[in-house]
Amino acid sequence: MSQTPLRVLIAEDSPTVRHHLVSVMNAAPGLCVVGEARDGEEALALVGELKPDVVSMDIRMPRIDGLEATRRIMNQYPTPVVVVSGLVDQDIDLSFQALQAGALAVVEKPLDRSDPDYATKERHLVNTLMAMAQVRVIRRWETRGAAVEVHAVPSATPAPAPVARVTELVAIGASAGGPSALSVLLKALPAEYHAPIVVAQHMPEEFTIGLARWLDKATPLRVELAEDNLLLRPGHVYIAPGSAHLTIVRRHGKLATRLISERGTFRYQPSVDMLFESAAQACGQSSVGVVLTGMGDDGAAGLLSMRQAGALTFAQDEASCTVFGMPGAAIARGAVANVLGLSNLATTLAGLN
């Protein structure tokens, strides 16, 4: 007996694009389009009426744009939202604001069938919708113009006391829900933070530049897309590009980036495991590893390598995660020394030497 298809609501103001997306999703096994909205106001009404499993959300729409629609959906009818964006600068900025407001992921619109990557983009859209449709989301309340997540159960694990050691590197891995969590975490760190921070965030190549730009505006730290052979600097955050694995090496006593374009056998590129394993080898006990919200188990093996090398290791707790897959897998693997809520995690990282 076949499983019931996941029900999708499409919010898209262009009739042509909307028709195309409907045909793509209805052709995908396991998906069924149950409603079409021409703007954010219609999307909000249809979410309440149809109760879809997931919303495919355009950003630039009349009356209410996708950012405001996402904020209101998460406030009134908590439902997984996937931002489906054209690669326009304004779209990218608004897309990351929508992630902060509660959307789970951002993917590119697969429009041009002559694009050699069209099939890959179409498959990524379908897979993302199917994955996010199965994520349990919670209500977000608006406070002072921003979306704030309210947890019924606060973290029971207190922040540990700062450890008397020199931290050379902070390595962070994240997937679904990561951009919003990264924003919260990095905002709490001072501009003159004593260590460089390297991040592997599962995200299509087309959006990693936008992620770096958005975080650079939203946090006091200097955020940039990692390039090959960069010397790491304190107070800087280096985001792995979507087209390569980010690893860390030591050259003449200094830490530097090394990008590996070959995907290898890793399911994700960039791979959190590869980043963490390289941090364990290059820095050992002078490194800190952090697994944030995300689906799957990427990072669990790498974080265990870091812990075995003497590094401090942390995982975001379930109550503050959008998806507890990656942190839960790392905890089960024995890779995590401290499980903290996002705010405690930020305070702890800020207090490290």
pLDDT tens track for 207-223 = 899 999 999 998 999 99
Query: What's the pLDDT score for residue 100?
Result: 87
Answer yes or no: is pLDDT of 276 > 90: yes
Q: Is 151 tagged catalytic?
A: no
Answer yes or no: is pLDDT of 144 > 90: no
CA distance 334 to 329: 9
Question: Is residue 177 within 8 Å of residue 321, measured between CB atoms?
Answer: yes
CA torsion 193-196-198-199 (nearest 10°) is 10
Least confident piece of the model among 276-280, 286-290, 318-322, 335-339: 318-322
Q: Say if domain 6-143 classifies as CATH 3.10.310.30.
A: no
Q: Is 297 tagged catalytic?
A: no
**Hey, what CATH topology would domain 169-351 get?**
Rossmann fold (3.40.50)
Comparing 347 with 150, which gets the higher pLDDT?
A: 347
Average pLDDT over residues 6-10: 97
CA distance 92 to 319: 28
Nearest Cα neighbor of 316 from 350, 335, 344 is 344
Task: pLDDT band for 160, please (50, 70, 90 cuts).
Answer: very low
Annotated catalytic residue within 56, 95, 175, 180: 175
* Domain chopping of the chain, boundaries: 6-143, 169-351
Query: What's the pLDDT score for residue 138?
Result: 66
CA distance 237 to 277: 18
Annotated catalytic residue within 13, 39, 297, 298: 298
Annotated catalytic residue within 91, 180, 183, 202: 202
Task: pLDDT band for 146, please (50, 70, 90 cuts).
Answer: very low
Question: Is residue 70 within 8 Å of residue 103, measured between CB atoms?
Answer: yes
- Do 6-143 and 169-351 agree at the fold level? yes
Q: Residue 186: count other Cβ atoms within 10 Å of its Cβ.
A: 22
Task: pLDDT band for 238, please (50, 70, 90 cuts).
Answer: very high
Average pLDDT over residues 161-177: 82
Consecutive H or E run containing 186: helix 178-187
Q: What is the pLDDT of residues 39-71, one digit of tens each?
A: 999 999 999 999 999 999 999 999 999 999 999
Average pLDDT over residues 70-74: 94
SS3 95: helix
Which amino acid appears at position 238 of this protein? Y
Average pLDDT over residues 226-254: 96
Task: pLDDT band for 145, please (50, 70, 90 cuts).
Answer: very low
Query: What pairs with residue 148 in β-bridges?
Result: 141
Comparing 90 with 84, which gets the higher pLDDT?
A: 84
